[in-house]
């Protein structure tokens, strides 16, 4: 946008020392323009156009918000009503999508075991659609408050919907593929400060599912698949679970995965 670039050049906030910036009212021009015109426009888009199930829309919107809010942070005004409205609208739109767009039917195992059946195909489509929404919701980490993102993505989407499907999927390649995708969605920074050997509270049920899968696979002598599941537990920092499993089944050759 040429007009935005012109205002940014006028403010030239990045090239001015912090001391001078505090005394120069010109540095408030760009943040004020963003607050009065840009943020309300984005809020309207979020409310009326954005589809949280669209990965391309979500990625573009997240990047736009990062760029715009980075400009606004230069303002001396710490509290921005327009920013609050935008964040609240984003959260409400994602909540609505979780409540209205997610539906994963549960069928008897005898029906879905036939992968060519219509019921099985429909259930799979709905599961992967929910995983896509999970991935898109978690893209907002770092913009929307972490507690809110974790509540929507983990407490609601994962534990309320996805986990039920995983529990009804027999341990094996299909289950591992699904769990792999779930773990791949999780922001790595959530686990960087975890040092107790335990994972996030919202992932406890998911980790217990992985543990049950590992036990079943090990019992059936599927060593490679067992290792894959244990690696997923390591990625989410459920190290105590992995360590206990290795000791229980005397798998000393796997201790290297937990740094032993």
The mean pLDDT value for 205-231 works out to: 95
List, in order, residues 6 or more apart from 102 with CB less than 8 Å away.
126, 129, 130, 133, 157, 161
Number of independent structural domains in the chain: 1
Task: Read off the pLDDT band of 108 (50, 70, 90).
Answer: confident
d(CA 243, CA 113): 33
Q: What is the mean pLDDT of the chain?
A: 86
Residue 114 maps to a domain: no
pTM higher than the cut 0.75: yes
Residue 83 maps to a domain: yes
117, 122, 127, 132: CA torsion to nearest 10: 130
The mean pLDDT value for 182-211 works out to: 92
* DSSP code at position 156: I
Half-sphere exposure of 192 (CA within 13 A, CB side): 4
Q: Could you count the other beta carbons within 10 Å of the beta carbon of residue 20?
A: 9
pLDDT for residue 158 is more than 60:
yes
Residue 125 maps to a domain: no
Residue-level pLDDT at 26: 53
φ, ψ of residue 141 to 5 degrees: the values are: -60, 130
d(CA 92, CA 184): 25
Report pLDDT digits (tens) over 53-86: 999 999 999 999 998 887 665 454 545 788 899 9
d(CA 56, CA 67): 17
Residue 85 maps to a domain: yes
Residue 71 maps to a domain: yes
DSSP of 162-219, one letter per residue? IHHHHHTSPTTHHHHHHHHHHHHHS-THHHHT--SS---GGGHHHHHHHHHHHHHHHH
Residue 54 maps to a domain: yes
Which structural domain, as residue segments, surrounds residue 24?
1-101
Task: Read off the pLDDT band of 49 (50, 70, 90).
Answer: very high
Residue-level pLDDT at 74: 47
Task: Read off the pLDDT band of 18 (50, 70, 90).
Answer: low
Total count of residues recorded for the chain: 260
Report pLDDT digits (tens) over 118-148: 998 999 999 999 999 999 999 999 999 999 9
Judged by average pLDDT, the poorest of 73-77, 174-178, 221-225, 240-244 is 73-77
d(CA 260, CA 101): 44
Question: Any idea which residue has 């005898």 for tokens?
Answer: 110
The mean pLDDT value for 192-220 works out to: 92
Residue 1 maps to a domain: yes
Residue 216 maps to a domain: no
257 close to 230: Cβ distance less than 8 angstroms: yes
Residue 110 host element (H or E): helix 109-112
């Amino acid at each position: 946008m040429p007009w935005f670039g012109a205002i940014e050049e006028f403010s030239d906030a990045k090239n001015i020392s912090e001391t001078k910036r505090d005394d120069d009212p010109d540095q408030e021009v760009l943040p004020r323009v963003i607050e009065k015109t840009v943020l309300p426009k984005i809020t309207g888009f979020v409310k009326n156009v954005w589809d949280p199930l669209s990965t391309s829309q979500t990625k573009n919107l997240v990047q736009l918000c990062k760029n715009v809010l980075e400009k606004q942070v230069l303002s001396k005004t710490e509290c921005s009503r327009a920013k609050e409205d935008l964040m609240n609208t984003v959260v409400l739109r994602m909540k609505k999508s979780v409540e209205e767009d997610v539906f994963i039917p549960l069928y008897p195992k005898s029906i879905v075991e036939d992968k060519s059946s219509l019921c099985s195909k429909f259930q799979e489509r709905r599961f992967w659609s929910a995983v896509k929404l999970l991935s898109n919701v978690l893209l907002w980490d770092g913009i929307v408050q972490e507690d809110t993102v974790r509540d929507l993505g983990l407490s609601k989407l994962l534990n309320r919907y996805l986990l039920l499907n995983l529990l009804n999927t027999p341990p094996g390649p299909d289950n591992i593929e699904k769990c792999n995708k779930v773990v791949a969605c999780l922001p790595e920074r959530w686990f960087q400060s975890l040092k107790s050997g335990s994972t996030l509270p919202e992932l406890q049920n998911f980790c217990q599912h992985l543990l049950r899968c590992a036990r079943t696979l090990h019992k059936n002598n599927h060593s490679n698949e067992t290792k894959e599941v244990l690696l997923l537990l390591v990625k989410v920092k459920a190290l105590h679970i992995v360590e206990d499993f290795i000791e229980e089944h005397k798998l000393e050759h796997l201790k290297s995965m937990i740094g032993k």
